[in-house]
Amino acid sequence: QRQPGRPTLLMSHCFVDGGTASDSERPLTLGGAESVAWEPMQSFDYVALGHLHGPQVRGGEHIRYSGSLLKYSFSEATQRKGVTLVEVGSEGVTQIAHHPLLPRRDVRVLEGELAQLLAQGAADPHADDYLLVRLTDRHAILDPMGKLRAVYPNVLHLEKPGMLEAKGRQQLGRERLAFSALDMFSDFFTQTSGEPMSDAQARAMSELITTLSREQEGQA
């Protein structure tokens, strides 16, 4: 029951309806319910919520998740971490302010082709951040993690969506099969040596492939 001159505050660790979760939170059940409504909380002067890692409000500025102090998964990479300072007077909340926290190393997601990311990393003052890298190259790359960590020492996870895009893995397989043997070897040579084959090397490989193909046809 509200009393004049006494602000009412509520603190709760729960999942409020409509809250935005990340990959970091564990499932939470209270009394058999996976979430609770925010409407009954409206009459409080301030509601300090915990559990969800992203700073957010539900139903009004005074019903708020302050969020976690640090990023605990790459799904939180875009969240603005910080602390919420709430000033309360005899008549209720007078001010709410979010103060950002900047850790020594951020958690980020980088996406692009390997050559592009390596070039960017050379001039990146935060290259030692904790990183998830998504490579968009559509061809095989020899030791991509080793090459990335030479520039970004704290790469924690590597994904290769470029190898699976378009119509998926099966379609990519059909595209590879459609390449000529010389095309596939040329692609492999470029990725492993860092430079394309010379004309002389291409002619030599073409002659070798032709010879092997004829031998296989003769054995058939």
Of the candidates 113, 61, 53, 116, the residue with the CA atom closest to the CA atom of residue 80: 53
Question: How many Å apart are CA 185 and CA 205, to the nearest integer?
Answer: 9
What is the share, in percent, of the chain residues with pLDDT greater than 70?
85
The pTM for the full model equals: 0.67
Of 95-99, 138-142, 148-152, 189-193, the least confident:
189-193
Looking at residue 31, its pLDDT comes to 54
Region 38-49: mean pLDDT is 93
| Residue recorded with tokens 């935060």 | 126
Question: How many Å apart are CA 143 and CA 157, to the nearest integer?
Answer: 14
For residue 67, is pLDDT > 70? yes
**In contact, 67 and 52? CB cutoff 8 Å:** yes
Looking at residue 171, its pLDDT comes to 53
Of the candidates 102, 105, 155, the residue with the CA atom closest to the CA atom of residue 125: 105
When the pLDDT of each residue in the chain is averaged and rounded to a whole number, the result is: 85
Question: How many Å apart are CA 203 and CA 102, to the nearest integer?
Answer: 56
Region 13-21: mean pLDDT is 87
Looking at residue 71, its pLDDT comes to 94
Strands 107-112 and 56-57: unpaired
The one-letter code for the residue type at 96 is: I
For residue 170, is pLDDT > 60? no
For residue 106, is pLDDT > 80? yes
